[in-house]
Every structure is written in structure tokens, then in C-alpha cells.
Amino acid sequence: MSPETFSGSSGEWREERLYVLRAIEDIRAEQRRQIEAETLMRQTIVLKAAKDITAAHEKIRALETAGTVLTVKNWVMATLLTTASSVAIVELVKWALHR
């Protein structure tokens, strides 16, 4: 079968062939565009996820550091209160014995 049997003249056949080839190229170009857009979207998501993870880790470190500072402050306060209450008990005992 020759190309002429499909559409009449070879000029028409060439035009139809060019139309099909252009349509195929347009489809391929659209596919490339979609792949590039998807790749860009994935990269954006990965970067945002990395930023979010880093921010979360920094918050955790800050809380751990604050927790350490609070632990030290609590230890100091507990020591001071223990010392003050010990002094108060000794003074009460002295007062009770001298009475």
C-alpha cells in the first residue's frame, strides 16, 4: 500500500504526516514540562521538609538547654531552701533549749 491510497495525493499525506508528527512533538513537550514541574515541586517539598525538620531539632535543643538551665535553677533553689530550713530548725532547737 502506498501513501496515496490513504488520503488521495502525496501532498495531503505529507501534510497529515506532519500534523501527526507535530501533535506527537507537542505531547512530548507537554510531558517534559509536566516532568520538570513535578521535579521542581518535589525539590520544593524536600527543601521545606528539611527546613521544618531542622527547625524542630533546633526547638528541641533549645528546650533541652532551657531544661538544663531550669534543672540547675531548681537544684540551687532546693539547696537554698534546704539550707534555710536547716538553719530555721537549728534556731528553733536553740530557742527551745534556752527557754
Residue type, position 40, single letter: L
CB 42 within 8 A of CB 48: no
Residue 18 three-state SS: helix
The domain total for the chain is 1
pLDDT given for residue 5 in this prediction = 52
C-alpha cell read off for 30: 507537554
Q: Distance between terminal CA atoms of the chain? A: 131
CB 13 within 8 A of CB 3: yes
pLDDT tens-digit map of 4-33: 455 457 788 899 999 999 999 999 999 999
76: containing domain: 4-98
